[in-house]
Amino acid sequence: MVLKPGEPGVLWAFWRIHSLKATGVLTVQWEKFKKQIAFRAGEAVASKSNWPHETLGSYLVRRKKVEASSLQAALQEASKNQRPLGEQLVMNALIPSHELGELLESHFRERIFNSVALSHGELEFATLDELSLKDTDQMKLSGEFLRLLWDAARLHLDLGACRSRLSILGSKPIQARGDFPFPISPKELRFWNGAAKEFTQVQGSDIDALRLFAVALEFDLLSKGAAPDEKIRKDLESLTEKFKTAKAFQILNVAEDATEDVCKRAYLDLVKKYHPDRLPPDSDPVLKRLGEELFAKINEAHSTMTDPEKRDEYNALLQIEKSGGIEQIEKTLEAEMLIPQAKMALKRRHYKAAHDQLVTVMAAIKNDGELIADFAFAKLMQLIDAKVPIKEQLKEFHSEIKKALALRPKYGAAYYYRGMAYKLDNQMEKAVEDFDEAVQFDSSLAEAASEARLIRSRKDKKSK
pLDDT-derived band of residue 403, with 50, 70 and 90 as boundaries? very high
Share of the chain above pLDDT 70, in %: 94
Q: What's the pLDDT score for residue 229?
A: 59
Q: Using CA atoms, how far apart are residues 322 and 271, in angstroms rounded to an integer?
A: 30
* Average pLDDT of span 117-131: 86
Is the model's pLDDT at 23 over the cut of 90? yes
Q: How confident is the model at residue 324 (pLDDT cuts 50, 70, 90)?
A: low
Tell me the percentage of the chain whose pLDDT exceeds 90: 7
Q: What pLDDT is stored for residue 230 in this prediction?
A: 61
pLDDT per residue as tens digits for the range 272-315: 888 888 777 667 777 788 888 888 889 988 888 888 888 888 78
Confidence band (pLDDT; 50, 70, 90) for 327? low
User: Is it the case that residue 227 has pLDDT exceeding 50?
Assistant: no
What type of residue sits at position 53? Answer: H
- For the chain, domains (ranges, CATH) are 10-154 (no CATH), 157-224 (no CATH), 239-318 (1.10.287.110), 326-463 (1.25.40.10)
pLDDT digit string, tens, across residues 128-155: 988 888 766 678 888 888 898 989 888 8
* pLDDT tens string 242-275: 888 888 888 888 888 889 899 899 889 888 888 8
Provide the pLDDT for residue 228: 45
pLDDT of residue 72 exceeding 60, the answer is yes
- Global pTM reads 0.45
Comparing 134 with 112, which gets the higher pLDDT?
112
Highest mean pLDDT among 22-26, 78-82, 226-230, 319-323: 22-26
What are the tens digits of pLDDT across the range 328-367? Answer: 667 767 778 888 888 898 888 888 888 888 888 888 778 8
More confident residue, 118 or 373: 373
Mean of the per-residue pLDDT values for the chain? Answer: 84
pLDDT band of 205, cuts 50, 70, 90: confident
Instruction: Return the closest-CA partner of residue 54 out of 34, 68, 74.
Output: 34
- State the pLDDT at residue 20: 92
- What per-residue confidence (pLDDT) applies to 22? 92
pLDDT of 198 over the 80 cut: yes
Whether the per-residue pLDDT at 52 is higher than 70: the answer is: yes
What pLDDT is stored for residue 418 in this prediction?
92
So what's the pLDDT on residue 424? 86
What's the whole-number mean pLDDT along residues 88-113?
82
pLDDT exceeds 60 at position 325: no
Residue 323: pLDDT band by 50, 70, 90 thresholds?
A: low
